[in-house]
Structure formats: structure tokens, C-alpha cells
């Protein structure tokens, strides 16, 4: 999860988030190179005396027309690749349905017969020591590690958004519509998120907690909860 005074992203815990972080760093390096070049040219024009060669040069005009097009291509190609990867859902091992309410989440494990529960934020007065305020819930979403997970997102009342930054997942929950996305957790851990769509007075009080566990632990948990 995010720390105080953190400038970068949260540690990536899914392949998609790793790609997003790499693309972010790639785009920043391109922006740094552009800013450095523009600053150098501005300094040069202020320091040097302009001549007819500087004012009227077809070669220079050709370069500053073609170069931005090349830069845009270098940014567009990896961006499109990541967009297609985020939309790709290929034979998931587990399907999870998340339903947004004012102001809590309901979850249904559609591959199991009776595995559904509501997830409410734990009030600060009832929060156990060592847990995070406004982020901990009474029932976590437990998923198996290194398994493709498909999540179907919808809402029961108003617009919500199911978002977990470290997994690179953010999907709008719209009443009467089913949106879907997928993710794979690359390591065990607990990943925190929140509703990312303003949905009313208690919008900031409907957190999301995803717990990634080995497959054997997930099977034991699902058997215990559904029994």
C-alpha cells in the first residue's frame, strides 16, 4: 500500500501493473528528454545572436516536424499494447462478482454454490491494533496466487468503481450493466483499494481488501466459508 511522502506508484503485484509502471517510467524519460532539448534551444536562442540560417532553415523545419511524430509513435505503440493486455480475459481459473452498494461491497464466487458475503469497513472504534484505519474490512476478498481471476463488476444503486492500485485494476460499477476485467497476483499478500467514483456521503468509507494466498490455503478458506 502507499506510504507517507511516497512519490511513485505502489509496488506492482500483477503483470499488468508491472507493465503500467514500466510505461510510466518510459513516458517520463521521453518527457525529460523533450524538456531538456527545449530548454537547451531556448537558452541557445537567448544567448546567441540570430542569423538568417537560424531563422530560415528548411532542414531544421523538417526535423522538428518528423521528430515529434516519431516520439508519438514510441509512446503510442506500448500504450496500445497495454490497453489490449488489460482487455484480454483468457480462461480464468476463478470468477468473482463484485456488487457496489451505498456504502459497502457484496461479493459472489460464482464457481461455488453458496459462497457470497458482504464486505463492510471496520469502524475506527472497533479496529484491532496494527490494522489500517479506513482501509480494513470485516470480510476480505481471498483469491489464489498466480491464477487468472476474472472479476465482474456492477452496482445496485449509484455509480461505484472497484479499484486496487497495486493490481492495476480499476473498473466502474454501473447499475444495470456488467463490466469485467481480470488480474493475476504474482505474490502472496494483502492489497488495499477503495471505491474510486464519488457515490455519496460515505464514499470514502467503502474500502476493498484483496488477500492473495497459495491455492491450498484458498481451498481451505472456501470450504470453511461455504460449509
Q: Is the pLDDT of residue 52 over 60?
A: no
pLDDT mean over 18-32: 92
Cell of 62: 523538417
Compare 45 and 155 and report the one with higher pLDDT: 155
Q: Is the pLDDT of residue 41 over 90?
A: no
Q: Is the peptide bond before 156 cis (omega within 30 degrees of 0)?
A: no
pLDDT at residue number 1: 65
106 close to 116: Cβ distance less than 8 angstroms = yes
Q: What is the pLDDT of residues 123-154, one digit of tens each?
A: 988 998 888 999 999 999 999 999 999 999 99
Helix (H, G, I), strand (E, B) or coil at 207: strand
pLDDT mean over 165-190: 93
pLDDT classification of 53: cutoffs 50, 70, 90: low
Environment class of 217 (CB within 10 Å of its CB; exposed 0-12, middle 13-18, buried 19+): middle
**How much is the mean pLDDT over the chain?**
88
167 close to 149: Cβ distance less than 8 angstroms = no
Q: What CA–CA distance (Å, rounded) separates 45 from 100?
A: 57
pLDDT at residue number 223: 85
159 close to 197: Cβ distance less than 8 angstroms = yes
pLDDT at residue number 43: 87
In angstroms, what CA-CA distances link 192 with 9, 23, 71, 90? 13, 23, 35, 25
Cell of 106: 457484496
- What is 82-148 written as a DSSP string? HHHHHH---S-SEEEEEEEETTEEEEEETTSSS-EEEE-BPPGGGPPTTSPTTT-BSS-EEEETTS-
Q: Is the pLDDT of residue 17 over 60?
A: yes
Q: Is the pLDDT of residue 189 over 60?
A: yes
Domains of the chain from N-terminus onward: 13-85 (1.10.287.90), 92-224 (2.60.40.420)
Cell of 205: 468509507
Phi, psi of 191 (to 5 degrees): -120, 130
Q: Is the pLDDT of residue 121 over 80?
A: yes
pLDDT at residue number 195: 92
pLDDT at residue number 51: 56
pLDDT at residue number 89: 81
Cell of 23: 510505461
152 close to 183: Cβ distance less than 8 angstroms = no
Amino acid at each position: 500500500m502507499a506510504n507517507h511522502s511516497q512519490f511513485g506508484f505502489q509496488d506492482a503485484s500483477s503483470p499488468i501493473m508491472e507493465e503500467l509502471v514500466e510505461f510510466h517510467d518510459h513516458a517520463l524519460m521521453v518527457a525529460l528528454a523533450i524538456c531538456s532539448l527545449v530548454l537547451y534551444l531556448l537558452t541557445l536562442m537567448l544567448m546567441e545572436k540570430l542569423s538568417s540560417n537560424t531563422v530560415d532553415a528548411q532542414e531544421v523545419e523538417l526535423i522538428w516536424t518528423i521528430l515529434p511524430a516519431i516520439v508519438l509513435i514510441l509512446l503510442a505503440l506500448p500504450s496500445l499494447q497495454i490497453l489490449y493486455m488489460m482487455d484480454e480475459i483468457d480462461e480464468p481459473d476463478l470468477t468473482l462478482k463484485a456488487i457496489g452498494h451505498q456504502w459497502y461491497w457484496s461479493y459472489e464466487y460464482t464457481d461455488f454454490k453458496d459462497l457470497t458475503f458482504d464486505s463492510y469497513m471496520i469502524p475506527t472504534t472497533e479496529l484491532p491494533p496494527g490494522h489500517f484505519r479506513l482501509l480494513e474490512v470485516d470480510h476480505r476478498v481471498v483469491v489464489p496466487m498466480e491464477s487468472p481471476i476474472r472479476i465482474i463488476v456492477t452496482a445496485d444503486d449509484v455509480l461505484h468503481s472497484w479499484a486496487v492500485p497495486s493490481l492495476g485494476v480499476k473498473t466502474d460499477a454501473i447499475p444495470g450493466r456488467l463490466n469485467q476485467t481480470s488480474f493475476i497476483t504474482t505474490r502472496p499478500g494483502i492489497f488495499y483499494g477503495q471505491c474510486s467514483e464519488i457515490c455519496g456521503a460515505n464514499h470514502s468509507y467503502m474500502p476493498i481488501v484483496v488477500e492473495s494466498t497459495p491455492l491450498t490455503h484458498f481451498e481451505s478458506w472456501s470450504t470453511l466459508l461455504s460449509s
